[in-house]
Amino acid sequence: MRHQVRPSDEELWASIAAGDESAFGRLFDRYSRPVYNHAFRLTGSWSTAEDVTQATFLVAWRRRRDARLVDGSALPWLLVVATNEVRSEWRSARRWLALLRRLPAERHIGGDLADEVAARLDDERRMAEALSVVRHLSPAEREAVALCLWSGVSYPDAAAVLGISEVAVRSRVSRARSRLARLLPEEIQEGTR
């Protein structure tokens, strides 16, 4: 049994920049879940998070020669691309939501699928409640919360991707935590940790 060495992001990205689709597939396998979770935390919608994840990796492929790895990791750059895709999604959300509101009500679904749908709707409801409070933060604080608290990007990596100092990132996160502690009801705080 041979032990395979997992290629670094830098090695993968060098192959990707040269057009290697299989290397891009490995990068997708490595980071699609963190990008998806990040998108969900920003949007509060599982379906929108799926769309944002797809768009993020499409942009990553198109801009594969322009990517900025941070300390050898592609994740911070991918998360910023995802954040920008969420912003694009918000710009078109009003028309999309208006169309959804005109659709007829869904029929009752029985069995396990109904439980899954109910769980997703509950997740979306709780995330929408949290987002309604998070939207009271400044855009800079929201970005720091999304990267550092929700998606686990380190302060130095977030600083590098955002083009600001690590102290500025820490300050934004600290201010956001203080404001959120005052604004978020306790039950929402527990559900979004």
- Mean pLDDT in residue range 130-152: 87
Average pLDDT (18-32) is 95
Q: Enumerate the CATH 1.10.10.10 domain ranges in the chain, comma separated.
A: 121-193
Which of the four CATH numbers 3.40.640.10, 1.10.1740.10, 3.40.50.150, 3.40.50.620 does domain 7-102 have? 1.10.1740.10
DSSP letter string, 128-163: HHHHHHHTTS-HHHHHHIIIIIIS---HHHHHHHHT
What does the alpha-carbon distance between residue 51 and residue 73 come to, in Å, rounded to a whole number?
Answer: 23
Q: Where in the chain is the domain with CATH 1.10.1740.10?
A: 7-102
* Average pLDDT, integer, range 137-144: 90
Cβ burial, residue 175 (10 Å; 0-12/13-18/19+):
middle
CA distances from 32 to 28, 43, 53, 106, 176 (A): 5, 16, 7, 30, 27
Tokens encoding 66: 């322009």
pTM, rounded to two decimals: 0.62
Q: State how far the alpha carbon of 91 is from the alpha carbons of 14, 37, 84, 86, 182, in Å.
A: 33, 21, 11, 9, 29
pLDDT of residue 190: 52
Closest by Cα among 143, 120, 142, 124 to 133: 142
- Mapped onto helix, strand or coil, the DSSP state of residue 70 is strand
Buried b (16+ CB within 10 A) or exposed e, 84-112: ebbeebeeeeeeeeeeeeeeeeeeeeeee
> Can you read off the two tokens belonging to residue 158?
């977030």
Phi and psi based region of residue 152 (left: phi greater than 0; alpha: psi -120 to 50; beta: remaining): left
Residue 94 pLDDT = 66
The DSSP code for 18 is T
CATH assignment, 121-193: 1.10.10.10
Q: Tens of pLDDT along 82-109? A: 999 998 887 776 676 677 777 776 665 5
